[in-house]
Structure 1
Amino acid sequence: MTATPRQRKSRRGLILLVALVVAAAVGYFVKVRYYTTPAVTMMTASVARGSIEETVLATGQLRPVKLVAVGAQASGRITSLHVELGAQVKAGDLIAEIDSATQQNNLKTAEASLANIHAQRAEKEASLTLARQTLARQRDMASQNAVARADLESAEADVKTTEAQIASLDAQIESAEVEVETAKVNLGYTRITAPIDGTVLAIVSQAGQTVNASQSTPTIVVLGQLDTMTVRAEISEADIVHVKPGQKVYFTVIGDPEHRYDAALESIDPAPESIRSDAAIASSSSSSSSSTSSSSTSAIYYYGNFDVPNPDGSLRTYMTAEVNIVLGSAENVLTVPAAALGNRDRDGKYSVKVLNADGSTAERRVEIGLNDKVNAEVKSGLEEGDKVVTGEMTAAQRSASAASMRLGRGGGGPPPGM
């Protein structure tokens, strides 16, 4: 059956109406989904009294207050080792012995040479006595014109020659005595003794091993005094400007983070450790410029040093210390979360949003003192109990946070029966 013109017109109107309704629904969805500002909840915190401490963090290394590598100045085979790892030794205690046959023979040779020169001097002393007696007779005879002048002069020359020979032998005796002393010292080098009181931390050379001291001093053992430990803390160049000797420090070790060790910063090295290998000191300007450019890309650290007592020996060599250098501390002061701090102006004050009783917010300029990056000391601009805005969170963020907390508590599994 053919539709009438009125029916066709009515049908087109209905289709157009449906299209408009669909377009309106799509537009509303897009507006709500993409253009509607989500509800925002402000996160706040109260200004409260508390304690605050501002510190510089540094990583340090524990070392004995005295650390000595005991070496050998004599070459040869180690015949005996008299200490064990961890043994306590006193200064002068025998640590090791090196085969001393060569040094003993050198001492005997030096002593024999000295004895020979002494014998030569004794012979010349006898000759000098005879020459002086002869000279005396020649002078008596010359006074009576009973001897030729040449014989008198010859006798005088014999005396002077013998005296000169004795003087030469005296010098040789001094040299020979030095040789004997040197030989004795070299013989003493075959007995390695402890230079300090301490603990044997390492045994580098064993009995039966041959050491060669002609080019470098070989290490036999390493000794350290462990009753006091030195901490060398690496302080970054960004923090070093705030640090100075005398400031309080405390540290913990990885194995015992609950035990806090307190001390005071004693010194700061004037230059970083890298200066020891700075090529610019001994190379040409071209090579130094290249080394400087390469070193500038690495981090720069300065060492801060302080000692800490270690009576029970719980602190061990080369332990890692987590060091806190105290820049300042305050108790019973107004504090505010550091997250509430806004921009800082030229006067050093920070902008902080304060929540009013009616739900509105107002911005205040606040003077801040110590800041440990978690809380900050309020010197002026806020009162105890004020509510400050620390952040904002949308509904979607709140939902995500709640879901994350449920997962953290183990509640994020599928519902029963699934």
Structure 2
Amino acid sequence: MTKRMLIMLGGVLALVVLLAGGFFLHIQKLIASSPKPGPQTVSTTKAQKLEWQPQLNSVGSLSAVHGVDISSEVAGQVRSLHFKSGQDVKAGDVLVQLNADADQAQLRSLEAAAELSATTLKRDRAQLAVQGVSQAQVDADEADLKSKKALVAQQAAQVAKKTIRAPFSGRVGISPVNPGQYLNPGDKIVTLQTIDPIYVDFNLPQRQIGQIRAGQPVSIKSDAFGQELFHGKINAINPKIDPATRNVQVQATIANPKGKLIPGMFANTSIAVGSKQPHLTLPQTAITYNPYGSTVFIVKQGKNGLEAQQAFVSTGDARGDQVAVLSGVKEGDEVVTTGQLKLKTGTPIAVNNSVQPANSPNPTPQEQ
């Protein structure tokens, strides 16, 4: 009985071995007959050296060379306005005329009193020559004339305040004041801004203060005018570093003949420093940034055609769509610019450069 069981177990075991062997051969046949993955299609570019102008960049704010809110020193009713909102005016131009009838009448009364005092002084001086009056009387007449003239000058200044003039040349804003309106002292009439030239104020880290000086050229761009550049020069560097941020404030004067730039706008500022430097550059799309380091895929010739080889790189400054590569790539190396996600070292590749990623140091954004 025991012998029969052993024979049966041996037969079962042999059957299992045969079935397993047959299944293994079948799997191998399926694997051998399955289609092999083809090369991955990528776009590439060659690493090349370009000359970049070293720059200090910052974001600044525009402010007027002269800017003030025009207001009245005295109370009065607006008789007439002599400007239109948004108009350019010159220094001394009349902006607002307040009603000054009562003040002018008072001025004429004081002028008449001063004339009478002058006449009295003249007559008493003639009397003094023949000893008709005392010297004390003439002295009193002279003092009275000086007092009357001072009152005239005071009233004339009061009348002049009723005519509000532009303190400097510039452009007026939008005024809420209308003829017939009563103004109190200090009420805002209109803003006046000198915008040609215009100031741009920005900050730079203290480590860069040795690279800037007064008179150094500055260029700015505003998102309101795309890539248009506005040029000027540094006119002042703050002699004190901000202890909270360790930044230094810099002010530059920018030519603005067309009045495009207005106070309150922000602008991207650039200061060219030093001479141009050669940099090995790649499109930013060629760089894969990882927590363990930045990598690129370099195209190499393999046994069966082109293959991808991963390499670690160190990157430097960026200019638009380009980035400087400090190490890991040599000039002339062909580097993958798109399609990196499906690659690893040794992956066969096919190059198709019919479509290339952006690679401009000064890109121009396009609205779709």
- Name the TM-score class by shorter chain: 0.5 to 0.7
Gaps of 5+ in 1: 18-43, 134-158, 276-291, 341-353, 400-418
- Distance of aligned partners of 1:334 and 1:63 in 2 relative to their CA distance in 1, 3 Å threshold: closer
When the two chains are superposed, the root-mean-square deviation of aligned CA atoms in Å is 5.1
Partner of residue 170 from structure 1, selected from 130, 134, 142:
142
Paired residue type of 2:260: S
Q: Tell me, which stretches of 5 or more residues in structure 2 are unaligned?
A: 18-43, 288-297, 303-307, 348-368
| Partner Cα distance (1:98, 1:360) in 2 | 82
Q: Give me the whole-angstrom Cα distance separating, in 2, the residues matched to 1:271 and 1:169.
A: 60
- The letter of the residue matching 1:304 is V
Q: How does 1:2-401 map to 2 (within 5 A)?
A: 48-122=48-122, 124-125=124-125, 128-129=128-129, 132=131, 162-213=134-185, 217-226=186-195, 228-237=196-205, 241=209, 243-245=211-213, 246-271=215-240, 296=244, 302-328=248-274, 330=276, 333-336=278-281, 371-372=317-318, 375-376=323-324, 384-385=331-332
Considering only CA atoms, is the larger Rg found in Structure 1 or Structure 2?
A: 1
Contact 2:121 2:138 in 1 (8 A): yes
Q: Note if contact 1:233-1:323 (Cα within 8 Å) is conserved in structure 2.
A: no
- Cα deviation, residue 64, structure 1: 4.2
8 A contact 1:62–1:229 mirrored in 2: no
TM-score of the superposition, structure 1-length normalised? 0.55
The one-letter amino acid paired with 1:330 is: K
Structure-2 change in CA distance of 1:73 and 1:362 (3 Å): closer
Superposition TM-score, scaled by structure 2 size:
0.61
Q: 1:53 to 1:60 in 2, by over 3 A?
A: same
Letter in 2 for 1:190: K
Measured after TM superposition, the shift of residue 96 of structure 1 is 1.1
Aligned partner letter, 1:257: G
Change (3 A) 1:49 1:388: same
- Structure 1 pair 241/170, CA: closer, same or farther in 2 (3 Å)? same
Q: Provide, for residues 209-255 of structure 1, a one-character-per-residue CA deviation record: whole Å limited to 9, x for no partner.
A: 22222xxx4442333344x2323232244675365134433222212
Aligned-residue offset at 1:97: 0.7
Partner of 1:35: none
Q: Deviation at 1:2?
A: 11
Structure with more of its chain in helix, by fraction? 1
How far 1:382 sits from its partner (Å)? 8.8
